[in-house]
Amino acid sequence: MKISMYQMTVPVFVRFLNNLNAILKTGEDFAKAREIDPEVLLNSRLAPDMFPLSRQIQIACDLAKRCVERLAGLDIVSVEDNEKTFAQFHERINHTIAFLETIEPEQLDNSEEKKITLKLRDASHEFKGINLALYFSLPNVYFHVTTAYNILRHNGVELGKKDFIGDLPV
């Protein structure tokens, strides 16, 4: 069985963004129950040189959305990074999921060999579509969702592996 570009990206991104939403909700409930200012969690980081939880969420959403936009040949639509509350971060995640769910499999057909150029920091990188998905976008989304999970876990939020993985599909 051959896996399509759509199957390896859109449903995976949607799944992990839904899991991120659930992880974030657990963090939100933790803060409320312990009367912790939500900004404390949203501004927490694992190390001084790492982005805080808030930025991890923004980047995970952007990576998923931009991967699909590039593969489908759509314009890259930038989203302002101005969220400050749990509700606003849930809204951003939900907005990203809603966009991903508008994508039809046919929009990603034959994007495996598509040439895509990304400017990252001071250098441009050339990718084939399949390599953008497998070696850049998917690992980066996993990284930022994992880091968000780890920031919350480090702050005492009771999360387990099942929260990160979510319910297993059949």
Which of 1-5, 10-14, 61-65, 144-148 has the lowest average pLDDT?
1-5
- pTM for the model stands at 0.95
Task: Look at residue 1 and tell me whether its pLDDT is greater than 80.
Answer: no
CA separation for the pair 47, 22 (Å, rounded): 24
**pLDDT cut 70: percent of the chain above it:** 99
What does the pLDDT average to over 142-152? 98
Dig out the tokens for 163 from the structure: 């929260």
Domains recognised in the chain with CATH numbers: 5-164 (1.20.120.450)
117: CB partners within 8 A, 6+ apart: 124, 125, 126, 127
Look up tokens 């297993």; give the residue. Answer: 168
The per-residue pLDDT for range 57-79, each reduced to its tens digit, is: 999 999 999 999 999 999 999 99
